[in-house]
Structure 1
Amino acid sequence: MSRLATFAAAAALMASATSNAAEPIALRDMGSFHVGGRLVEISGKPVKDVTFTPGGVPAKVDPNGTYQVDQMYVQYFLPQDEKGAYPLLLWHGGGLTGVTYETTPDGREGWLNYFLRKGWSVYNSDAVERGRAGWAQYPDIFKGEPVFLTTSNPFQRFRIGDGPDSYDPDPAKRKLMPGSQFPNEGYENFVKQNVPRWTTTDDATIAAYIAEIDRVGPCIILFHSQAGPFGFKVAQARPDKVKALIAIEPAGAGDPAKVDALKNIPTLLVYGDYIERDSRWPKIRATGGAFADAIRAAGGSVDVVDLPKAGIRGNSHMMMMDKNNAEVAGLIQTWLEGKGLTKQ
């Protein structure tokens, strides 16, 4: 049996076991913290009168002074019966937050719960300028302007819909990819998760992720989409602390000049379905494959899984939300166990 087939078979068994697990999740602790950031001075702005409450008394607000910016928010969940050898860090993609890994848009358990049930300590973050990390003034601090997405944009760009003009406000009229596993009935809930993003904050985001690892210690990183370059580059900056990398359809790669830093970090790249039907994804997939080859050439261990070839079909870019998300998570769990990253 091939390695892909073994992954798929084990994943199916784990998905079945997880779907039948209705017992409460037992935690020994949970909490949150902010990490990273810097102080910035703003000057030369006019003082404003602001009425904070309708009918209230205006207050003078002086926008000049020191601001805390570029911090990141992290929420952690520590299971009572810990089975992971290291904490698992979940990093989301562009225009999204840590909600990516929480309850799916149609109400099923997400990967956060899945890996908690498997005994992993899970750290789920909102990166710089997302969600509970907070925002800063632009263009004074965040250079440029934020990018906002229409309701239809993710439907087409994330390989949920079959090509341009596949989205329709009426779920029954949407043109889904054939055999799509994305929960069409929950798409509106997915769109509600979208937040504005900047294209100019990568350095700040990488600095905050490094600060998270410095605080948490040795860990495993599972990262998605836009976080592809972040995951690889942070591992290159802290190769002694990153014990494994799990790249879920990474949108980019690490620094090719520092690829040697990854040679002792087992790495898994996972890609979904319909890539050949999309105008952008073949190139993105090729970039990931080339970087994987570079790690191997440096003496590293990399597994690249195209889910359809492993017998897991119908997955969109948002595979952690797809209806078979537990099966995909089971494949990742099998890989982690095979790398000796769980406690005996």
Structure 2
Amino acid sequence: MDIYNSQPSHGGMFMRSHPPSGLKHMNPVVFLHTDHHSGEYWDTKPDGDPGWVSVFNNEGFMVYAPDLPFCGKSKGFGSAMVALGLPAMRFTPQFAEAMLTAPERINHFHWMGVEHHTQWPGTGLRGDPCFEAYFRKTEVKMLGDQERQTRAQHSLVDFLNTLEHPAILVGHGSGANLAYLAADRAPERVAAIVALEPIGPPFANALRNSSRSDGTKLEYTSEYVSIPTNQPGVRCRPYGVSDIPLQFDPPPLPPTTMEDILDEGSRYQPIPFVEVFDQKAKQFCYLQDESVHPPRKLTNLQKIPNCIFTAGSSSHSAYDWATVAFLKQAGVPVQHLELAVKNGNGPLFFLEKNSSKLALSLINWLRGNILSRPSLGLLNPPPSTGAAQNSS
């Protein structure tokens, strides 16, 4: 498999280009990694088997896998900033074990379905060859979310504008949120968004064993509560799925105080939100406040097919439904593809033993939702795998 563009020539991004042996689809796939990772981990899995790049190549897709700004070979001046003591967040092996590779073996964190996690190769613990192969490719997270999102949005739009045809954006974690930001800026350059467990829930952080000021818990599962962004000291995703502005109609509320302008007022809500009870999930979440005005719409995302893909044994099974609810409220056509718990997949499902089967299920979704359009080009669909359940 050839890799081109060895120089960071696309808005400061090191770009890996993976051409298939036979091109069958006009729309290229762009893989977007999450924090603490790089575009390298789409290529080869920790057990040495080929990753999703190979699966999509074998199905006739042109694939790109950038190192997003401040990550991997796109670190640039970010490394110098960290050396000067500016923000950097460490990624620890303890966190990786407990939340990603071996949550079923660690007693500190639990969520519904975690005990069924079986698809990570090896033990998922330090000292295991597959864990070590995975962890040595991780890195510190440089700078804050606003800086990272702003730079990545500009870089991705610049890159998408160089492509002949609209791209399919496949993002994992924060990479999924960046897909929304890029598509919001250049909707005509995006054919579809596949969000693999985007960072969430909207307007909030999902935390374990925490309480609200009135002493009650807002539960996503028996172990998870949601702390909204307008609480003192909390600032996350004030635009629902991003920390920087998205284009809503009507527009977000402007700042009204100097604190808001300086982004020091954690209670400032550009998109007013309230706590609501979701009848389908039978749990609470935060959505736009509809008590005075209809919800604002993400007009640039409304014509782009979207799906959110959630693993049954991942912590995201506790709250991805809230991100789906937020997008639907904003008028975005999104489908929720939920892996059955019995599949045994965790949050790094695209690196796990059955990852090729899961990739084919996503390709089936693409075939049914965008590639069947005459303007987009599609040949020879693969057989159905039945791996994912659609809960629109």
TM-score between the two structures when normalised by the length of structure 2: 0.62
Q: Which residue of 2 aligns with 1:290?
A: 325
Q: Which residue of 2 aligns with 1:54?
A: none
Residues 216, 188 of structure 1: alpha-carbon distance in 2 compared, 3 angstrom cutoff: same
The alignment covers a number of residue pairs equal to: 268
Residue 227, structure 1, aligned to residue 175, structure 2: yes
TM-score between the two structures when normalised by the length of structure 1: 0.70
> How far does the alpha carbon of each residue in 1:103-127 deviate from its partner, in whole angstroms, 9 at most, with x for none?
1000111000110011000001111
Amino acid aligned to 2:161 = D
Q: Which residue of 2 aligns with 1:329?
A: 359
Range with bigger deviation, 251-260 or 216-225 = 251-260
> How far does the alpha carbon of each residue in 1:263-318 deviate from its partner, in whole angstroms, 9 at most, with x for none?
1111111000224xx4x7624x14422233235xx2x4321111117xx6111111
Question: SS where residue 340 of structure 2 aligns?
Answer: helix
Q: Which residue of 1 aligns with 2:218?
A: none
Structure 2: distance between partners of 1:161 and 1:103: 22
Q: Tell me, yes or no, if the aligned pair for 1:88 and 1:123 is still in contact at 8 Å.
A: yes
Residue 34, structure 1, aligned to residue 8, structure 2: yes
Rg larger for: 1
Structure number with the higher helix fraction is 1
Structure possessing the higher relative contact order (Cα contacts under 8 Å, 6 or more residues apart): 1
Percent identical residues: 19
Aligned match for 1:265, one of 291, 300, 304: 304
Residue correspondence of structure 1 range 43-192 to structure 2 within 5 A: 71-136=12-77, 137-139=79-81, 144-158=86-100, 160-162=102-104, 164=106, 177-184=115-122, 185=128, 186-192=130-136
Structure 1: distance between partners of 2:30 and 2:313: 28
Unaligned segments of structure 2, at least 5 residues: 123-127, 201-240, 249-296, 372-376, 380-392
Kindly state the Cα deviation for residue 89 of structure 1 after the two structures are TM-superposed: 0.4
CA-based RMSD? 2.7
Amino acid aligned to 1:231 = A
Kindly state the Cα deviation for residue 166 of structure 1 after the two structures are TM-superposed: 6.8
Structure 1: distance between partners of 2:116 and 2:83: 44
Amino acid aligned to 1:233 = L
Aligned match for 1:212, one of 154, 159, 163: 159
Structure 2: distance between partners of 1:260 and 1:179: 38
Unaligned segments of structure 1, at least 5 residues: 1-24, 38-70, 168-175
Structure 2: distance between partners of 1:116 and 1:128: 25
Kindly state the Cα deviation for residue 179 of structure 1 after the two structures are TM-superposed: 4.2
Q: Which residue of 1 aligns with 2:196?
A: 248
Question: SS where residue 158 of structure 1 aligns?
Answer: helix
Q: Tell me, yes or no, if the aligned pair for 1:221 and 1:246 is still in contact at 8 Å.
A: yes
Q: Tell me, yes or no, if the aligned pair for 1:36 and 1:207 is still in contact at 8 Å.
A: no
